[in-house]
């Protein structure tokens, strides 16, 4: 391995997951690939290069990510889901990038600009998440402004986002939000608008609720072969829907050193772990600056030669130690799997997330972007 650590991206798995969501959405529904946050840690350039010409739209968080996508695929349709600052509105319009709008200040800025191009916007409505979104009492005024300046503003889409699909088996709140969203769509259409892209479903909602699949779905975590939650898997099983996702990323490192320590000797900062016997320790050149969380100190594990090796002592900025006493033959630069498979054993992002009290989204998106992403079969 040329690098101390790498993330392998399976092209085959990524395309498999895309096919799953195309099948779920149906032929008439566009599938948008969400590649924000460095494609959930999988590498935006690598993911976009694989999906180029295979998805209808790429969704990002900001203008810089949008331009990253365009640098790889200059014909891509790109939608900014996050906030576009007033100073970047002109840039987005000139680059023909669609962006999400939910406040009147953004509209006022658009109409004040002297541009020959039309802004392509997606109006995000508030239905119960109480984050980004136009409140119902503000919707009529914003539609009035858009209609007045229809030569400058094209209402390409209307969207919302669910608050509680992933963490519950109770559909009542998603259905309430869906009712509110349908009301908002009726208001939009009553003013004469016919936006081609109506969307509210991310991965979980797309899998669970057919009524949430409009003209587009936004697929993020599921695209990368990771389940939005255990509840999503359970709900699908209850309804006897056989959906198989394949993890796209595996995170691998190497052994930097093998050393023997005596019984009673400690390992790492703070002397938090002491050998209960004569032991063999391997030093792995990854740490919390790489995204291997410090909470994995004394609780995490890795795979080497198809066997589980526990993390001993504290996770440092660029190093961890593992106990390989019971794994014979380990030598310098042997492969170490942090996430992924080694022979018939596997460590998942979900397993790592459980140990540090978070979710798989955070585990993968926090893998340092400087670590190379390598596309494999």
Please provide the DSSP assignment of 323-339 as one string: E-TTSTT--TT-EEEEE
Domain identity same for 125 and 74: yes
Domain identity same for 188 and 260: no
Phi, psi (rounded to 5 degrees) for 162: -80, 145
pLDDT score, position 240: 85
DSSP state of 165: S
- Show which of 238, 258, 293 is a domain's final residue: 238
Task: Describe the chain by its helix, strand, coil percentages, rounded to 5.
Answer: 35, 25, 40
Q: Is residue 3 part of a domain?
A: no
Please tell me the distance from the alpha carbon of residue 293 to that of residue 286, in angstroms, as a whole number.
10
Q: Going edge to edge, which strands form the sheet with 78-80? A: 197-199, 153-159, 119-124, 98-101, 78-80, 57-60, 30-34, 216-219
Instruction: Extract the tokens encoding 85.
Output: 């600052």
Q: Is residue 243 part of a domain?
A: no
Q: Is residue 87 part of a domain?
A: yes
Q: Is residue 191 part of a domain?
A: yes
Domain identity same for 229 and 257: no
Domain identity same for 276 and 372: yes
Report whether 154 contacts 192 (CB < 8 A). Answer: no
Phi, psi (rounded to 5 degrees) for 332: -55, 135
Catalytic positions, please?
36, 269
Q: Is residue 63 part of a domain?
A: yes
Report whether 209 contacts 201 (CB < 8 A). Answer: yes
State the CATH number of the domain containing residue 80.
3.20.20.10
Domain identity same for 132 and 215: yes
Domain hosting 222: range is: 11-238
Domain identity same for 260 and 313: yes
pLDDT score, position 343: 96
Report whether 207 contacts 24 (CB < 8 A). Answer: yes
Please tell me the distance from the alpha carbon of residue 229 to that of residue 207, in angstroms, as a whole number.
12
Distance of CA 316 to the CA centre of its chain: 26
State the CATH number of the domain containing residue 369.
2.40.37.10
- Show which of 187, 210, 238 is a domain's final residue: 238
In total, how many domains does the chain have? Answer: 2
The continuous run of DSSP H or E covering 13 comes out as helix 11-25
Domain identity same for 53 and 154: yes
Report whether 184 contacts 133 (CB < 8 A). Answer: no
- Show which of 215, 238, 261 is a domain's final residue: 238
Q: Is residue 217 part of a domain?
A: yes
Give the global pTM: 0.96
Q: Is residue 61 part of a domain?
A: yes
Residue 361 C-beta-side C-alpha neighbours within 13 Å: 12
First to last CA, the chain: 17
Instruction: Extract the tokens encoding 59.
Output: 């969704």
Other CB atoms within 10 A of residue 51 CB: 23
Please tell me the distance from the alpha carbon of residue 298 to that of residue 126, in angstroms, as a whole number.
43
Q: 155 pairs with which residues across the strands?
A: 121
- Between the CA of residue 304 and those of 6, 118, 205, 206, what are the distances in Å? 15, 56, 37, 37
Domain identity same for 217 and 278: no
CB neighbour class for 26 (10 Å; exposed up to 12, middle 13-18, buried from 19): exposed
pLDDT score, position 238: 87
Helix (H, G, I), strand (E, B) or coil at 370: coil
Domain identity same for 20 and 115: yes
Domain identity same for 19 and 113: yes
Report whether 353 contacts 360 (CB < 8 A). Answer: yes
Q: Is residue 229 part of a domain?
A: yes
Domain identity same for 96 and 154: yes
DSSP state of 372: P
Report whether 233 contacts 203 (CB < 8 A). Answer: no
- 10-residue mean pLDDT profile of the chain (377 residues): values are 93 98 96 98 98 96 98 96 98 97 96 94 98 94 96 97 93 97 98 98 97 98 97 90 96 98 98 98 98 98 98 98 98 98 97 98 98 97
Domain identity same for 45 and 140: yes
């Amino acid at each position: 391995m040329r690098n101390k650590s790498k993330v392998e991206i399976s092209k085959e798995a990524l395309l498999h997951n895309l096919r799953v969501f195309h099948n779920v959405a149906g032929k008439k529904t566009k599938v948008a690939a969400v590649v924000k946050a460095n494609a959930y840690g999988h590498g935006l350039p690598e993911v976009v290069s694989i999906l180029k010409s295979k998805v209808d739209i790429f969704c990002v968080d900001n203008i810089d990510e949008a331009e990253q996508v365009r640098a790889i695929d200059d014909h891509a349709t790109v939608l900014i889901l996050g906030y576009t600052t007033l100073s970047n509105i002109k840039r987005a319009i000139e680059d023909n990038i669609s962006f999400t709008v939910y406040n009147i200040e953004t509209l006022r800025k658009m109409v004040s600009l002297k541009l020959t191009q039309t802004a392509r916007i997606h109006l995000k409505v508030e239905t119960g998440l109480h984050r980004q979104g136009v409140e119902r009492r503000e919707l009529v005024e914003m539609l009035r402004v858009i209609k007045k300046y229809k030569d400058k503003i094209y209402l390409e889409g209307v969207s919302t986002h669910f608050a509680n699909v992933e963490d519950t088996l109770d559909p009542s709140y998603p259905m309430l939000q869906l009712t509110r969203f349908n009301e908002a769509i009726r208001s939009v259409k009553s003013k004469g608008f016919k936006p081609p892209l109506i969307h509210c479903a991310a991965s979980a909602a797309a899998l669970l609720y057919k009524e949430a699949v409009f003209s587009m779905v936004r697929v993020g975590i599921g695209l990368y072969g990771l389940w939005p939650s255990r509840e999503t898997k359970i709900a699908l099983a209850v309804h006897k829907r056989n959906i198989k996702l394949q993890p796209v990323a595996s995170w691998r490192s190497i052994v930097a050193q093998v050393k023997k320590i005596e019984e009673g000797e400690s390992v790492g900062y703070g002397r938090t772990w002491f050998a209960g016997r004569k032991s063999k320790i391997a030093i792995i050149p990854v740490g919390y600056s790489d995204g291997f969380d410090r909470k994995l100190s004394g609780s995490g594990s890795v795979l080497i030669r198809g066997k589980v090796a526990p993390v001993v002592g504290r996770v440092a900025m660029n190093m961890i130690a593992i106990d390989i006493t019971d794994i014979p033959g380990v030598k310098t630069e042997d492969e170490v799997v942090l996430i992924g498979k080694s022979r018939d054993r596997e460590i998942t992002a979900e397993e790592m997330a459980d140990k540090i009290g978070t979710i798989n989204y955070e585990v993968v998106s926090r893998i340092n972007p400087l670590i190379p992403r390598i596309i494999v079969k």
